Homo-oligomer: A and B are copies of this chain.
């Protein structure tokens, strides 16, 4: 790893420190320029006899900066009368060291591609991050923002949100998610580095840092992600565990007594313990240096801290959240000689110290652009692809790669159509990458012309094997998307197991992560595996997630249409629900393009003009064919019947009132919806007089057609219900 070098005007700024620190300053300070205290960058001339003195001076500087960090934390919480000071105080040294001495980033361009990524999995500690962002010069967090902590519309919400605050990489708070996001970010780096780096042009090279607390450590999702991180040999991932021995309910002895370091070691991590970060920050710096030497394993740094450090509540769970009482506040300020300072005071030299990183980051970014220019000249072909990715991953005309089906083509399950779409898309979209939670062959979610991602063998591989770890899969996919490098992650499992990763899917939507969830075996139609595997209420539950697009295509062309939409939707996630069983036909009236409207007319034998159909049959997915089959029968009986595919509710809901009235005219009161899932929500579309054919109970183990028959999903039953409405 190449660290930049900062000299010149920095030494002049030391003067500020000297004035402030006064008699505490060792003599050497007067003569020394700042240096990167991380061993990797120490200049030889600085390593003479003075080196220990230089380090001691830096220790003092560090200590005072940390004091200021803590005071800002305290002032913010007191001002807001809300927030979580406990972790922010306990981890102040860690946050400070990362932002001041370790991480590579440019506050003036928070999205600089090659920056180190930092994820605060213990999201309730966001105040620490806000303070560090402020002190290092991110324009996204001003003093006023700290004063607006947890206020409506502020840039400092109660948990960090990447779409609200520049400098925040992932939206966290639900515990454990951030660990998996970080694994995704590190995976993205390892993958892209393998694809693009050249011996003479390293264009992808950063570390991923993550802070987790006891809560994250207990959540299953972090375990799943940790197991994968080691399996994938993500050595540039540094997971810092805030071991403060407290959770909300009390001492961790209440619930959490495992040997966590041994556990991570068993998973294949490099484990390091820092015992006394409050007493000696160098210990943590040394731990990081040791982690940087690791070439194969991800790094787990356990840092023992005191939650609520400084406060009377120090070391107890009472420090976790909430403001401090006046006496406690006074004492804290006394302890760091802050009594005479106004709230939200920042010592100017602290700004200057922490903004050393700003200049450093700018230099790094400049360097990176030079490398990029060289890369472009020397490796023009690779550069084209790299540029596509850096621009978001889409290429003009990519939709044209999608297959088109006609009525005469052999029928397949929609998961089969999906497989063909994926293979085509992967060839034109260099960012397509993803995999399944041990169901690649069942989900048919595998890019056949590409290898598996595997270190050291094939890190360029674009198929990811997640094992049976749905929750981590989704959150890692969020990390891949939030890496911001044009990766288009897909994540596949059975629709029923979306339940295992529900919170991560929600976070995809909340954090604008364009993950494509490929969820097959999408109804009781999966048959023999029975009710434990048959989704019923999952479509309803997913449709209720704000902003998420849920597609349930009916045949080949609708599947292609769903991919068109899902890939276009780079600012948010999509679900594509697919059948296990073969659908009955490639329908005449379906169209990939019409999927863009969410709902559209498949067939109608009313004569047009003023004449409306007598009845509308509305279906999705594998049941659309039942609607068509029933419509044919009814038409033979002289009825005017329209069939509508409602492939994505949310997209349809967003269409104009005129279009919606065109598809579902209010005057046509007789409507039947047919979907092998929960009826919840269908009333919106069938109206008061309509009939919803759905599944109100759990499914049952049995052959597909038997199960469908039991629950009324036959052309005959749909037709009978329609007839009853018409009579």
C-beta contact mask, A249-268 vs B, less than 8 Å → 1, else 0?
Answer: 10000111111111101111
CB distance from A520 to the nearest CB of B (A): 13
Verify A254–B467 contact, CB threshold 8 A: yes
The docked-state distance in angstroms from the alpha carbon of A702 to that of B149 is 9
CB distance from A677 to the nearest CB of B (A): 9
Q: Contacts A248-B441, A442-B248 hold; do A255 and B465 have CB atoms under 8 A apart?
A: yes
Residue A30 interfacial (CB < 8 Å): no
CB distance from A304 to the nearest CB of B (A): 18
Verify B158–A533 contact, CB threshold 8 A: yes
**Which of A87-95, A396-404, A539-547 contacts its partner?**
A539-547
**Which of A11-19, A384-392, A523-531 contacts its partner?**
A523-531
Verify A218–B214 contact, CB threshold 8 A: no
CB distance from A158 to the nearest CB of B (A): 4
Verify B532–A159 contact, CB threshold 8 A: yes
Chain B residues with CB below 8 A from A576, complex form = none
Chain B residues with CB below 8 A from A537, complex form = 506, 541, 544-546
The docked-state distance in angstroms from the alpha carbon of A537 to that of B258 is 35
CB distance from A492 to the nearest CB of B (A): 11
Verify A469–B503 contact, CB threshold 8 A: no
Verify A220–B218 contact, CB threshold 8 A: no
Chain B residues with CB below 8 A from A503, complex form = 496-497, 499-500
The docked-state distance in angstroms from the alpha carbon of A283 to that of B82 is 59
C-beta contact mask, A655-674 vs B, less than 8 Å → 1, else 0?
Answer: 00000000000000000000
Within 8 Å by CB of A467, from B173, B255, B533, B707, lies B255
Within 8 Å by CB of A540, from B469, B541, B698, B702, lies B541
Verify B267–A258 contact, CB threshold 8 A: yes
Closest chain B residue to A123 by CB distance? B532
Residue A472 interfacial (CB < 8 Å): yes
Within 8 Å by CB of A263, from B266, B470, B546, B706, lies B266
CB distance from A667 to the nearest CB of B (A): 13
Q: Contacts A540-B540, A700-B157 hold; do A219 and B468 have CB atoms under 8 A apart?
A: yes
Within 8 Å by CB of A530, from B157, B216, B468, lies B157
Q: Contacts A159-B532, A255-B466, A468-B219 hold; do A702 and B150 have CB atoms under 8 A apart?
A: yes
Within 8 Å by CB of A544, from B161, B510, B541, lies B541
CB distance from A336 to the nearest CB of B (A): 27
Q: Contacts A247-B468, A468-B175, A469-B220 hold; do A157 and B701 have CB atoms under 8 A apart?
A: yes
Verify A227–B256 contact, CB threshold 8 A: yes
Chain B residues with CB below 8 A from A406, complex form = none
Closest chain B residue to A469 by CB distance? B218
Chain B residues with CB below 8 A from A326, complex form = none
The docked-state distance in angstroms from the alpha carbon of A440 to that of B230 is 34
Within 8 Å by CB of A260, from B158, B265, B266, B452, lies B266
In this complex, which of A83, A221, A442, A503 has the most chain B Cβ atoms within 10 angstroms of its Cβ? A503
Closest chain B residue to A686 by CB distance? B683
CB distance from A469 to the nearest CB of B (A): 5
Verify B268–A258 contact, CB threshold 8 A: yes
Residue A424 interfacial (CB < 8 Å): no
Verify B158–A467 contact, CB threshold 8 A: no
C-beta contact mask, A615-647 vs B, less than 8 Å → 1, else 0?
Answer: 000000000000000000000000000000000
Within 8 Å by CB of A258, from B230, B255, B528, B531, lies B230
Chain B residues with CB below 8 A from A533, complex form = 158-159, 173-174
Chain B residues with CB below 8 A from A702, complex form = 150-154
The docked-state distance in angstroms from the alpha carbon of A471 to that of B544 is 21
Within 8 Å by CB of A701, from B152, B465, B680, lies B152
CB distance from A177 to the nearest CB of B (A): 9
Residue A4 interfacial (CB < 8 Å): no
Residue A703 interfacial (CB < 8 Å): yes
Residue A208 interfacial (CB < 8 Å): no
Verify A255–B123 contact, CB threshold 8 A: no
In this complex, which of A265, A469, A532 has the most chain B Cβ atoms within 10 angstroms of its Cβ? A532
Chain B residues with CB below 8 A from A28, complex form = none
Chain B residues with CB below 8 A from A470, complex form = 219
Q: Contacts A154-B701, A465-B254, A710-B152 hold; do A174 and B536 have CB atoms under 8 A apart?
A: no
C-beta contact mask, A480-512 vs B, less than 8 Å → 1, else 0?
Answer: 000000000000000011011011001101100
Within 8 Å by CB of A224, from B171, B220, B678, lies B220
Within 8 Å by CB of A231, from B161, B255, B262, B265, lies B255
Between-chain CB contacts (< 8 Å), 6 pairs: A150-B702, A159-B701, A218-B438, A249-B438, A497-B503, A540-B540
- List the 5 shortest-distance A-B pairs measured between CB atoms, nearest first: A220-B220, A152-B702, A255-B467, A157-B701, A173-B532
Further 13 A-B residue pairs, CB within 8 A, beyond A230-B257, A248-B442: A152-B702, A157-B530, A158-B528, A158-B529, A220-B223, A231-B258, A258-B267, A262-B266, A537-B541, A541-B544, A546-B697, A546-B698, A687-B688
A residues near B (Cβ < 8 Å) are: 80, 82-83, 123-124, 150-154, 157-159, 161, 171-176, 214-216, 218-224, 227-228, 230-231, 247-249, 254-263, 265-268, 436, 438-442, 452, 465-472, 496-497, 499-500, 502-503, 506-507, 509-510, 527-533, 536-537, 540-541, 543-547, 678, 680-681, 683-684, 687-688, 695-698, 700-703, 706-707, 710
